[in-house]
Amino acid sequence: MDTTTAITADVIVLGFGKGGKTAAAALADAGKQVVLIEQAEGMYGGTCPNVGCIPTKMLVHYSNAKRLEDAAQEFFANSIERVRALTTAGRAANFNAIDRKDTATVITGSARFTDPHTVAVGEGHDEITVTASTILINTGSEPIVPDIEGIADSAHLVSSSDLTRLERLPEHLVIIGGGYLGLEFASIYRHFGSDVTVLEAADHLLPKEDDDIASVAADILAGDGITIVTGSTVTRVVDTEGGALVSYTIDGKTYTIRADAVLPATGRKPATAGLNLAAAGVETTPRGAVIVDEFLRTSQPHIFALGDVNGGPQFTYISLDDSRIVLDRLLGYGTRSTADRVAVPQTMFITPPLATVGLTEREARGRGLNIKIARENVANIVAFRRAYTVEETRGVMKFILDAETDLILGAAILSIDAQEVINTIALAMRQGVTAATLQDAIYTHPSTSEAFNEVFTKIIA
């Protein structure tokens, strides 16, 4: 391209994530002229299918399929290659799903606002400017590199994205942070054969969960051979000829461990740097999240922010729901909002997975609610025969129930298929289905759901 190109469209979508691509497709199908701008070819489709949900869950599957007789490095390399093949195919499918539409165009490059209705891509004679009456920001989030001496410059620093693409299995992976992301990778890489150490600043893992659930999860991880160091503060990372030396303190005493790879799993921040939001008059929080109202409108009513970039829950399915809210605003009745969300579940894909929804026991008691607790270890739920058929009886099921109405206020399911059955519980909570109804329901056999026939009878408090 030799000269600056100017394009006028109805809608600009910044970022190819779940919310952005879903909205772009629907708006194009409605006859709107849509321009979707993605900064990197490797991210067509967004984080989830490229470096997030899909590749990581594939790695969970492959790591659990590894046998003792499999050579760790070869098995790992083959698994990564299979992940790469699927993500490559997914990128092409995502690109074509938008670009083949008559009223949609995909532009690859870094975008920046020049005014409230215009963004520019590229520079100089290669610059493209796009102007539209409606703009959707869907640029996602990016990993936070903590302020630890030496870590940013370490040759052994890896991101969560890197860990879905490494070609060689690390001998020793050190993970800084014991949250969902850190523990998922700890479980994955341990099952592939790496030595894994998790350094967690809190005095126990998963401090947001009830202590009994966190304790079972910690026992499972430790039983798989993962070293968990709680109450630790990482102070320094130094590269040496034999790898990185990670120093941390506990109660004022300093310890050091060696690592081939160091993963900071200390959170993600909205990816807004470089967008020049000030030129658009779009306000952000001190952390860089785009400020939105319940309809996902920014400080500029014609600009919306979807997904991680607006500072909400960092889940692909939330980004998808964001697209429903925006599409209702642009094509529907404009009544749907974030206030409509009730009982949103989440899953940590350790093995077996931990899925939760609603209130914990601690939160419910803190609110002074009159509750009863149904809880049982998976191994003791006689009706849960599926756990025995697949030889995975580790875990626990726990439900927080309203003592007067028998409605479910919250749940924590640490078991096989937890990522599936938690959706049934969430739906029950939204529709006002009682625990007794779930207890007496008919389920297929053997299945994880039929554990409900028994666990709701296990009232412990």
Angle at 39 between CA 35 and CA 41, to 5 degrees: 95
Q: Are residues 350 and 399 in the same domain?
A: yes
Q: Which residues of the chain have pLDDT under 50?
A: 1-2
Q: Are residues 136 and 47 in the same domain?
A: yes
| Annotated binding-site residue? 180 | yes
Last residue of a domain, one of 340, 360, 380: 340
| Annotated binding-site residue? 179 | yes
From residue 72, alpha-carbon distances to 65, 80, 160, 175, 438 in Å are: 12, 12, 20, 20, 43
Q: Are residues 111 and 170 in the same domain?
A: no
| Annotated binding-site residue? 123 | no
204 Rama class: left (phi>0) / alpha (psi -120 to 50) / beta:
beta
**pLDDT score recorded for residue 1:** 40
For the segment 98-125, what is each residue's pLDDT rounded down to a tens digit? 999 999 999 999 999 999 999 999 887 7
User: What single string gives the DSSP state of each residue in 271-292?
Assistant: --TTS-HHHHT--B-TTSPBP-
Q: Are residues 227 and 303 in the same domain?
A: no
CA 33 to chain centre: 31
Residue 147 lies in a domain: no
Q: Are residues 408 and 443 in the same domain?
A: yes
φ, ψ of residue 75 in degrees (nearest 5): -65, -45
Residue 152 lies in a domain: no
**pLDDT score recorded for residue 3:** 56
The enclosing domain of 379 has a CATH number of 3.30.390.30
Q: Are residues 289 and 237 in the same domain?
A: no
**pLDDT score recorded for residue 228:** 97
φ, ψ of residue 193 in degrees (nearest 5): 125, 0
Q: Are residues 274 and 304 in the same domain?
A: yes
| Annotated binding-site residue? 255 | no
Q: Are residues 362 and 445 in the same domain?
A: yes
Residues 451, 453: Cα–Cα separation, whole Å: 5
Q: Are residues 116 and 130 in the same domain?
A: yes
**pLDDT score recorded for residue 156:** 97
Under 8 Å between Cβ of 173 and 259: yes
Residues 160, 175: Cα–Cα separation, whole Å: 10
What percent of the chain lies above the pLDDT cut of 70? Answer: 99
| Annotated binding-site residue? 140 | yes
Enclosing H/E stretch for 179: none
Tally of domains within the chain: 3
Q: Are residues 351 and 451 in the same domain?
A: yes
> Looking at 117, 172, 204, 445, which residue is catalytic?
445
Q: 170, 165, 163: which is closest to 243 by C-alpha?
A: 170
The enclosing domain of 240 has a CATH number of 3.50.50.60
| Annotated binding-site residue? 249 | no
Residues 369, 407: Cα–Cα separation, whole Å: 12
Q: Are residues 189 and 334 in the same domain?
A: no
Residue 151 lies in a domain: no
Residue 78 lies in a domain: yes
302 catalytic? Reply is: no
Residues 382, 152: Cα–Cα separation, whole Å: 51
Domain containing residue 226: 162-266
From residue 269, alpha-carbon distances to 14, 286, 308, 312, 385 in Å are: 17, 11, 8, 11, 42
Q: Are residues 246 and 312 in the same domain?
A: no
Last residue of a domain, one of 293, 322, 340: 340
Last residue of a domain, one of 266, 291, 320: 266
**pLDDT score recorded for residue 288:** 95
